[in-house]
Structure 1
């Protein structure tokens, strides 16, 4: 009896691990959520309140994966923080980014960026948290 119960419990654990390892959701559009940060080589990492790097350079047609390295949630949109004031801005040629949530220890892909230029993303929650995307 105990042997069967132990066997069933072990099998449930294995199935759960497989489902978690293979899980992740993706949505179409300018942002795709995923449990894996390995979607693209163009990664911009975030800590509790800042982008680790303030800018990233990519090629036209590529996307940027925003990676949260902590458990702090972020909400990303087009625009910048300027002198403590949020400045939402729709930039011509930039993918529309509004309310893209990157919850703790996860990632979200923004793009593709199909037009060369300099574009700006910011976290609507954390003042001063700006990312410049340079598209060549």
Structure 2
């Protein structure tokens, strides 16, 4: 399985996972810069939840049923990416995507189209103001 980072902003990072030429999943990390809500902890720890210093939302939009190995690889990828963060709460939320994130990205204004599709799919609020920042490591 291959992965490709499609977007990196100050608060989010999006990856596409593929097998051959077939896109199979999109993984979005959103930094909330805040503690996890009580409801997050109660779902896992019941009444004993004490939030860590930061909550990172992690959503995985899948385009087809994943094999056990593919799912484990995506979970391992997320764990490796976040393992150096000493005080965070996160959980990977898998859901089915109704459509692929096809766009003209990274050409021209394709980044705006991609961001609109990401926001629609993940119910997020990502904003890109400068299309030329697509040439930078971090998009603005």
Question: Shorter chain as normaliser: what TM range?
Answer: under 0.3
Tell me which of the two structures has the higher relative contact order, counting C-alpha pairs closer than 8 angstroms and 6 or more residues apart: 1
With normalisation by structure 1, the TM-score equals 0.24
More helix by share: 2
With normalisation by structure 2, the TM-score equals 0.23
More strand by share: 1
The structure number with the bigger radius of gyration is 1
